Amino acid sequence: MDKIKVEICCGTACYLLGAASLMSIEDELPAEVRGKVEVEARTCLELCEKENLGGAPYVRFNDTEIMAQATPEKVLERIVELAGGDA
């Protein structure tokens, strides 16, 4: 299985609205999904410029799925779901 790609936006808008708290999620991953996830910090994903996406901070999963107003809890939950929900 390919790793789940998680891109955390650390551009100004996202950072100001809480992206810093997302950067530690790699340390909080349940043991079952560790090694299945690749977490990367990104500069502005250019999502903050679009008004209809829900608001920063943004996280992108597997190049396609956008999460707005991301929190560590929401991101961890989604990672577990993407990993097959067995964690």
From 22-30, 32-40, 43-51, 71-79, span contacting ligand FES (CB under 6 A): 43-51
Q: At 16, list the tokens.
A: 């100001």
Alpha helices in 11-71 (DSSP H): 12-16, 25-28
Other beta carbons within 10 Å of 71: 15
> Minimal distance in Å, beta carbon 77 to ligand FES?
20
> Minimal distance in Å, beta carbon 85 to ligand FES?
28
From 5-13, 21-29, 30-38, 65-73, span contacting ligand FES (CB under 6 A): 5-13
Backbone φ and ψ for 83, nearest 5 degrees, come out as -80, -5
